[in-house]
Every structure is written in C-alpha cells, then in structure tokens.
Amino acid sequence: MDIFQSSYYIRCNRYLSFCGHWPYQSLRNRIRNFILLMFLMSTILIPQVNHFFNSTELHHTISSNFGSCDTIYMFLLLRYHRCFTTVLFYLKIRSVCYNRKKYDLNLLSCIKKVLEKIKSDFQRYKDEDLKILHKYSGQANKINTFYTVYMFMAVGGYSMLPLTLHVMDIALPKNESRLPTKPRLINYNIEAFDENIFFIIIHGVIVDTAVIVFIIGFETLCFSFSYHVCALFVIVTNKIRDSIDERITSKHSEVDQDIFYRNFVKIVIMHKDALELSTEKQLLNIVLTNAIFVLTCSFVDTVETALSVLNLFAIGFAMMPLTITGFEFILSKGNVGEMARWSLFAFGEIVHLFYYNWPGQKIRDHSFYAIEWYKEEIPDKCKKLLNLMMLRGQKPCSLTAGKVYILGLENFAAVMKVSMSYFTVLSSVM
C-alpha cells in the first residue's frame, strides 16, 4: 500500500495537490494549480492594497499626526491588519518556491526527500518497529484531524458571521446595521462590487477557504514529519535497550548469541551505505543501533532544512494577528457578534501557535536517552560506540524557525507573553 494514500498522509496529499504544492504532482498540474491559487490571492490582495493607498482616512491621519509614529502605527495595525495578514500569507507561499543556493534545492525538493525517507522506513522496518511507526503516525493523524476540524470551524465562523448579520439586516431590519463597518477594507474600483456587502463577504469566504486549505496541508504535513522523527527515536531507544538486555541474557550461550547476531546481520546490510560494519559479531547489534541513530539525526537535519524558513513565516503569521485580535476584541465590547467572531479567531491563533511548537518539543524530548552504558556485561568496544551516541545526544535535536527561534513549549510561552505585552501596550494607549 502506498503510504501517501493512507489516512496518515491523504489529507496532506489532497490539500497540497489542490494548491499545487504536492511534490509528486506532475509539473503541469503543479504550475496550473499554483497559478490559480496566486490569482485567487491577488483578487483580494490587490483591492486591499488599492484601498490602502487611496484611503482618504489614511492620508488625513498621516498629515494630521506627522511626526507621531505611534499614532500612525496604531492606525495601520488596527485598520489594515487583514491586508498585512494577506501579505504574510503571500510571503509564506513564496518561501515554498524560494531557491536556496546553499542546497541548490527549493522547499518542495527538500520535502520530497523527507517523504522518500518516510516511504522507505515503512518498507524497511518490520514487526515491532513497524508497529511503532504506525502508532506515532496514527497519533499524529488524530491530532491533525482535530486541528483540521477546528481550523475550518474557526475560519468558517470568522468569515461567515458577517454574512449572518447581513442576512439578519435584510430579514429583520433595525434602525442601524448590525455590521458596524464593511467586513473587509477593500476597493475594487467597481462601484457595483464596492457597495455589495454580499459579494465582499462571499469573495472573502472563498479566499479564506483556499488559504486555510494551504495552511492545513503544510502544517499537518510538518506535524506528521515530526511524529515520524519521534517514532525513529523510539525505535533507536528500544534497540539500545534490547541489545543490552540480549547481551546480558545470552552471554553464556554461544549458540543463542550467534543466532542473535546473525539476525541483525540481515538488517545491517540495509544500512551498509550509511556505515562500515565491524567484523566482530559481538559489536554488530550496537553498530546497527548506532547506524540507525546516525540516520535518525540526519533525518532530523533534513526535516529542519525543509521546514526552517516555512516555520519562520508561520510564527510571524501567528504572532502579529494574535496581538491585534485581542485588541479588536476589546474594541468590539458591546457587540456580541463581533466579540464572538474575534474570540474564535484569537483562540484559533493560539491553537495554531501551539500546534507549531508542540512537535518541536516532542522531538527534543525524544532525542534524549537513558543508556546503561556502564554495565560490566557490555564489551569496551560497544561502550565506545554508545559513548559516541551520547556525545551526539548532548546537543538535542530540534526544529527552528529561520535558525533564530527554537520550536518548543518554552518559546511558545515566551511568544504568548510578548503578544500579551504588546496587547497591553496597545490597550493602554487607547
């Protein structure tokens, strides 16, 4: 069975294929879908930018507050944060296609390399090791399903609530509109569209849906990558413990020991391109474990290379809207509909930020080992190999955002603290 057609990766496959970012798509389909996605994005980005540069309110604010950067900055954030969010998303897409001279690869090529390794692992590992891979992939799939459902609900509620209020204005009119402002600051330069609230809302819903499909596709793929790395670390840990236990229990039986090592020889052959094997049979088990450990660390580096730039845009994509959303919530005090809309969006940003940091924490936790290397039953040459592994393990494997932000719960808490600080500052100025 093709692992990418299984429940573990089918969501990523379909969503990224829809956006033209699945590495196994034909070049023709990839270019076609990517152009359609960028065209759809431009249909809302260009009108937003057009409104930004032609806004009389903006010109008046700048002219009347010239020299007061704080006032202008707050005005831009509060009035045009949706435009900034759209630009951030555009940059996130652009980072996927960005060619890095150092590696002579773009992000899709790196992701394809990781996918090939995952496919190879599911074909290579058997029995208990394969069960571990399926266990962690299943866990990732459950979390990805919850994340997908919630993000669609959050974005759907955020985008569709203005439509609900607009329909209520038509069906049950009041003295004043339930929509205090236009759902989006946008200027099509076509009067029929600019004054059509229904068209603006539906247009926004379509674009938001395409955006969330792209985001979910990539983020669930990154999450699955991280859990696959954790599974590999668990396999390494189990092999270390099994090899030590087997060495202790079979040391008095040469026949059992030969059978034990002969079985491992078959597996070592699969890794012959990664490590030159020792000729002594009693070292084969530890050598195998060391080989898998090296390959696992190399795999983490590959995942880090593929996702580092993308993670940087993702963290930036989550931080600024989170601060502004909290401020918008306060400004909407008294308007239950708007408060519900912004609270749903704010919680979605927190979930999004936590979802990005959690896999990095899991990888860091799984990259530590508790090895009983000091036992007398372990030969000295085996201890040296184990010491090399522990030396590498002193630097825990991790995922970063642009090499400047280490993904993990500690930094998640720091980001939340900074966001709340910005939110407090903005609130105090008003």
Which tens digit of pLDDT belongs to each residue from 369-398? 555 555 655 556 566 666 666 665 556 666
More confident residue, 31 or 172: 31
Identify the pLDDT of residue 419: 74
Identify the pLDDT of residue 58: 55
Instruction: Check if the beta carbon of residue 278 is closer than 8 Å to that of residue 298.
Output: no
pLDDT-derived band at 307, boundaries 50, 70, 90: low
More confident residue, 295 or 191: 191
CA torsion through residues 168, 174, 180, 181, sign: positive
CB neighbour class for 422 (10 Å; exposed up to 12, middle 13-18, buried from 19): middle
β-partners of residue 100 are 105
29 to each of 13, 19, 115, how far by Cα in Å? 13, 10, 19
Coil, helix or strand for 203?
A: helix
Domain ranges of the chain: 3-429
Identify the pLDDT of residue 309: 57
What DSSP line would sit under 212-241, residue for residue? HHHHHHHHHHHHHHHHHHHHHHHHHHHHHH
From CA 413, how far away is CA 427, in angstroms rounded?
A: 21
More confident residue, 250 or 211: 211
Among 23-37, 174-188, 345-359, 369-383, the range scoring the smallest mean pLDDT is 369-383
Average confidence (pLDDT) over 212-237: 83
Quick check: 283 pLDDT over 50? Answer: no
Quick check: 302 pLDDT over 60? Answer: no
Q: Residue 380 is encoded by which pair of tokens?
A: 């000295």
Q: Which range in 66-75, 158-167, 236-245, 263-272 is most confidently predicted, on average pLDDT?
A: 158-167
From CA 311, how far away is CA 302, in angstroms rounded?
A: 14
Quick check: 145 pLDDT over 90? Answer: yes
Which residues are within 8 A (CB) of 382 and not within 5 positions of it... i.e. 6 or more apart? 247, 282, 283, 286
From CA 121, how far away is CA 9, in angstroms rounded?
A: 15
Backbone angles phi, psi at 119, to 5 degrees: -60, -40
284 to each of 271, 317, 373, 380, how far by Cα in Å? 12, 48, 16, 14
Q: Go through 305-326 and write b for each residue having 16 or more CB atoms within 10 A of its CB, e for each that does not.
A: bbbbbbbbbbbbbbbbbbbbbb
Digit-coded pLDDT (tens) for 351-367: 877 887 887 788 777 76
Identify the pLDDT of residue 143: 92
Q: How many CB atoms lie within 10 A of CB 421?
A: 11
Average confidence (pLDDT) over 69-93: 58
Instruction: Check if the beta carbon of residue 281 is closer than 8 Å to that of residue 254.
Output: no
Identify the pLDDT of residue 138: 93
Average confidence (pLDDT) over 40-47: 85
Q: How far apart are the first and last CA of the chain?
A: 59
Residue percentage of the chain with pLDDT more than 90:
5
Digit-coded pLDDT (tens) for 107-142: 677 778 778 888 888 888 888 889 999 999 999 999
Residue percentage of the chain with pLDDT more than 70:
53
pLDDT-derived band at 99, boundaries 50, 70, 90: very low
pLDDT-derived band at 269, boundaries 50, 70, 90: very low
Coil, helix or strand for 105?
A: strand
More confident residue, 93 or 277: 93
Instruction: Check if the beta carbon of residue 20 is closer than 8 Å to that of residue 32.
Output: yes
Owner of token pair 């499909």: 213
Q: Go through 85-96 and write b for each residue having 16 or more CB atoms within 10 A of its CB, e for each that does not.
A: bbebbbebbebb
From CA 179, how far away is CA 145, in angstroms rounded?
A: 33
**What amino acid is encoded at 258 in this protein?**
D
From CA 259, how far away is CA 367, in angstroms rounded?
A: 30
Instruction: Check if the beta carbon of residue 235 is closer than 8 Å to that of residue 289.
Output: no
Coil, helix or strand for 301?
A: helix
Quick check: 335 pLDDT over 60? Answer: yes
Average confidence (pLDDT) over 259-265: 43
Helices then strands, counting H and E runs in the chain, come out as 13, 2
